Chain A
């Protein structure tokens, strides 16, 4: 059974700092997704990573995928308050499995 684990679950950081969210998955899967969810809102697709070594960047967020280590990372560069949200990773094998989410708070 595919399991997806994220850490940390809660992250409080100051503006301007860098940090990384980790997403581990338990079985072979080469499709990894990152989503953002604001409180009370729907999910917004951030990245779809399809192959080993894939790296995608959008603004202050960069996602990477290592299929051999079964690990994806979401790196935040020079955080700003607007990035405060919950970030989910999800992996697909036979179906989609989501991690528990990382609640990010960026403080001024």
Chain B
């Protein structure tokens, strides 16, 4: 069964450093998303991406964040200058249509900022 994959599973970085989280969505999916979940808290939407551009983003997704689909398979989330409060689990998801479609989540990347 196709699945969303994410790398790395755990990333430790120092405050102020740049990190890139990687995702490979399901191959025939058209919409891609990033979410984050601070430990023990609810899931928060960051951004959705379609047709090589951001379709929607939340207030969390400020100028420190960017997304890219550098090739036909990868979907990346970059955090330019990490803060302590960026420590969280980051989930990538993909779906066929946005909204109506079922979203398939990857296993997540645990980001720890020290």
Contacts and interface: CB of A to CB of B under 8 A. Distances in A.
Contacts of B48: 95
B99 A31 contact: yes
A90 interface: yes
Interface of A: 31, 33, 35, 41-45, 48, 50, 88, 90, 92, 94-101
Contact of B100 (A35, A43, A50, A96): A50
Interface string B66-109: 00000000000000000000000001010000011111111110
A97 B43 CA distance: 8
Nearest to B55: A95
Nearest to B6: A42
Given A48-B100, A48-B101, A98-B42, 10 more contacts: A42-B106, A43-B43, A43-B105, A45-B104, A88-B43, A95-B45, A95-B56, A95-B58, A96-B45, A100-B41
19 contacts: A31-B100, A35-B43, A41-B107, A42-B105, A42-B106, A43-B105, A45-B102, A48-B100, A48-B101, A94-B56, A95-B45, A95-B56, A95-B57, A96-B33, A96-B35, A98-B42, A98-B43, A100-B41, A101-B42
Contacts, number: 46
A44 B56 CA distance: 22
Given A31-B99, A43-B91, A92-B99, A98 B104 contact: no
Interface string B18-61: 00000000000000010100000111110010000000111000
Chain A interface, >50% SS class? strand
B56 A99 contact: no
A39 B103 CA distance: 19
A92 B43 CA distance: 13
Given A31-B99, A48-B100, A92-B99, A97 B45 contact: yes
Contacts of B93: 43
